[in-house]
Chains A and B, each alone.
Chain A
Amino acid sequence: GAVVSQHPSRVICKSGTSVKIECRSLDFQATTMFWYRQFPKKSLMLMATSNEGSKATYEQGVEKDKFLINHASLTLSTLTVTSAHPEDSSFYICSARLGTTGSNQPQHFGDGTRLSIL
């Protein structure tokens, strides 16, 4: 149980392209989804939190116009990196969790998307 699918697993594209990453909870309804970024040999850095049907809450320093998040249903959230540049190259990971802000249920993670901008 608690399977989270993330697609695509790898993207290579030219600078200026917009890239959309999908995150789906396959066997449970995810009230809350999270988007993280991970640099090589570093831990996970939270980018934003989204609750189904609400606007995402972005962490300090994360550009909301650059990283567009949509959480239109209880099983799907998308992250769109708009006009991507080489400095946006990274490993992006989503997670999903039952319950809203106060929930202490575990987050379940997707397998990540390796984004490379040329």
Chain B
Amino acid sequence: EDQVTQSPEALRLQEGESSSLNCSYTVSGLRGLFWYRQDPGKGPEFLFTLYSAGEEKEKERLKATLTKKESFLHITAPKPEDSATYLCAVLNAGGTSYGKLTFGQGTILTVHP
């Protein structure tokens, strides 16, 4: 069974204080790992897709990396507007989860001015 575990559950940062969010996964075969941002009362907003170990993607203050067991979302010099829940999801290559995303529980990020 696919498993996705995100840590920490909640993270409070001061503006400008860089940090990382972790997403550990167990799948029989990874077809893709996805990062989303979700604001309260809204649907998830797509950020990145990573397809293979060693791959990195960047967008503004965010950088996502991938290994064979986990992914990190690095946030450099965060601003209050980066406050949101960040979700990680994996797409399995086969089995009963084929074609479906398995989501982690999310990390609630709060950035204080």
Binding site for B on A (CB under 8 A): 2, 4, 6, 32, 34, 42-44, 46, 49, 93-95, 101-104, 106-112, 114
Contact = CB atoms under 8 A, between A and B. Distances in A.
B78 interface: no
Contacts of B105: 42-43
Contact of B43 (A2, A32, A101, A110): A110
Contacts of B87: 43-44
Interface of B: 31-32, 34, 36, 41-46, 49, 51, 87, 91, 98-101, 103-106
A46 B46 contact: no
A49 B99 CA distance: 9
Contacts, number: 54
A43 B41 contact: no
A96 to B, nearest CB: 11
B43 A6 contact: yes
Given A43-B87, A44-B103, A101-B99, A111 B42 contact: yes
Contacts of B100: 34, 46, 49
A106 B103 contact: no
A112 B51 contact: no
Nearest to B34: A106
B41 to A, nearest CB: 7
Contacts of B43: 4, 6, 93-95, 109-112
